[in-house]
Amino acid sequence: MTSIDALDILSADETSACLPASVLAMLHGTDITVFRVPDDASDTAACSERYGIELDDCANTIVVRFKRDGAEHYAAIVSLASRRLDVNGAVKRELNAQRISFASREIATELTGMEYGGITGFGLPESWRVLVEASVMTRESIVMGAGIREAKLLLSPQRLLAVPNVTVAALVI
């Protein structure tokens, strides 16, 4: 991975000014590094290439909609960019869902209060389940969204264990 010195690290004041309040509340007082990325490097593959970060160290957060017991629910899944999720198998079983699909862009941004392409596992609605794919936890550090497209988080995956309703499970094919 690129040296941390090569990243455009945001100060505490800059972080406070630009991140969604729900994300900021989860990061307060942690050793998570927030760094700026230009919009053209916000997507995972572009960020990986620009900063020399292996896809095995990039984590994406995906919002899913599922039905269980006749009601509609939402959950987030944090998975390495290099892995393929088993949404209709392992994820569906873990959520005990009768039906599951990816949430639309509009719904994902409305419900999370985050920008599409920057959604993170931090600061999600507390009623949501957050599934972390087990391989994420094997990494020394990961880079993931910060709630906006123009910033990323660099952190130990262990920090994800502080997220409400988090479950670590094998979710890939």
| 76's tokens | 């987030």
Report d(CA 98, CA 92) in Å as an integer: 7
Task: Specify the number of domains making up the chain.
Answer: 1
pLDDT in tens, 131-147: 999 999 999 999 999 99
Q: What pTM did the predictor assign?
A: 0.95
Query: What CATH number does the domain containing 86 carry?
Result: 3.90.960.10
List the domain range (segments joined by +) for residue 161: 4-169
Q: Tell me how crowded residue 101 is: count the other CB atoms within 10 A of its CB.
A: 12
pLDDT in tens, 8-62: 999 999 999 999 999 999 997 778 999 999 989 999 999 999 999 999 999 999 9
Residues 20 and 120: beta-carbon distance below 8 Å: no
